[in-house]
Amino acid sequence: MQFFPDMSTFIKIGNFQITWYAIIILTGAFLAYYLTLRQVRKWGYKDEIFENFFLLLLPIGILGARIYYVIFEWEQYAADPISILYIWNGGLAIYGGIIAGTIFGIFYFRHYRIDILRMADAIFPNLMLAQAIGRWGNFMNQEAYGGIVSADYYAHWPAFIRDNMYIDGYFRQPTFLYESIGNIIGFILITFVYKKYGRKKRGDLMFAYLSWYGMVRFFVEGLRSDSLMIGNIRVSQMLSLLLVLAGVLGILGVWHRLFKNVWPFKKQKPAVIFDLDGTLVDTKELIYKSFIHTFEKYKPGYHLSEEELKSFLGPSLKNSFLRYFDESQIDEIIAYYREFNHAHHDEFIKEVPNVEQTLKYLKENGYPLAVMSNKLSDIVRMGLQCFKLEDYFEVILGGEEISESKPSPQGILEACEKLHVPHDNVIYVGDSPTDIQACKNMAAFSVAFVLEESRKEEMEKEKPCALIQDMKELITLVKEDKEWSDTTI
């Protein structure tokens, strides 16, 4: 039999050493961090918010895990309290880390006005993967093992597992491996199956984690020979049952119903942000005539087809003109376009039916309202003033005030900041593919407004969260019990 007496050490130089335990724990933590960061980026969060969270969470989680372990193993440390600091020798209880990390996360994300249930759905499934990896740190430290088994038990196992499970003169059950495999299965089921086909509300992925991990840990803990105990009760089994109960009740919606008027389960009214052209006012004819007039001067003899004219609805003027002209001409061409557009604005602009009725309802019922358009803000205001719509909006953003034009989500994010609302619950209503793409780029709830039947197919291809053909349908939509974000992202 080959025996590995010191598999715990990765490298040792003099009195300095790096343990496998530390490497494996940190590998799991950084993988969970990377996967979560990739998700929250898709939701439009700034990297530094989650980077700072992780940098603070790591020591807080380790501290919580250590304190929890020491509390239940105090007799081991009472005679030599300094050994409490020797975490590289093992002795971290994951439940302590989860409790400490959760309490910290609640305060941290509330400070940034981020929906905690939404963030928990991003974090907890990846935490399960980190735990699966972390259990191999227990293996390297020869801890978290089960009862005695015969040598035959490992007849077909890899030698390195068999040999490191030979502890104190006996072969031991590899309970670390049971839990690691259970966690990997849970991560796959929650991330790739339940997330797509089962979840119904925010918090469901967190509740699925609690249910699955609690179940796995309960059964694995029953096989371990080094459990933390209170009398004859295994502490982790007791806590696991509580997690399963909390998770199942959460999935069934009990917590949402019991605490529907209490944060974080209280539903928030979404901010409703509108595009201007083709959404609040009908400017199609004005835009067409402005482009035709501009092309007559700068590209004489060129005939713009109907499809080309349609393609100008949505993108910024710069992006539209760059398809036909050299960049050195663009500023002059845009100025000429705007001169004509401004002079003939009231002549060609038209009213969109039921817009004022809809805005009045939203305003009276406390929905934060904004307009965000690629157009210059003075032209946006001109369009709103034509039909006395300006006073309905708390924020009006034009293209010169936005750092990046659509399909970048920056305009929607900046509108949320000026409204002083988080962007976890936001509806953006627009009539062009770039409007829907901007929503997709931050997972906002996209509403495609189709004024003309001929554009319906084009908008459906973008897969908006909802499609309406009459603006008053928005009143019915906002009354629905929905997550006001794109849950497919």
Q: Which residues are catalytic?
A: 275
Map the chain to HEC letters: CCCCCCCCEEEEECCEEEEHHHHHHHHHHHHHHHHHHHHHHHCCCCHHHHHHHHHHHHHHHHHHHHHHHHHHCHHHHHCCHHHHHCHHHCCCCHHHHHHHHHHHHHHHHHHCCCCHHHHHHHHHHHHHHHHHHHHHHHHHHCCCCECEECHHHHCCCCHHHHHHCEECCEEECCHHHHHHHHHHHHHHHHHHHHHHHCCCCCCHHHHHHHHHHHHHHHHHHCCECCCCEECCEEHHHHHHHHHHHHHHHHHCCHHHHHCCCCCCCCCCCCEEEECCECCCEECHHHHHHHHHHHHHHHCCCCCCCHHHHHHCCCCCHHHHHHCCCCHHHHHHHHHHHHHHHHHCHHHHCEECCCHHHHHHHHHHCCCCEEEECCCCHHHHHHHHHHCCCHHHCCEEECHHHCCCCCCCCHHHHHHHHHHCCCCCCEEEEECCHHHHHHHHCCCEEEEEECCCHHHHHHHHCCCCCEEECCCCHHHHHHCCCCCCECCCC
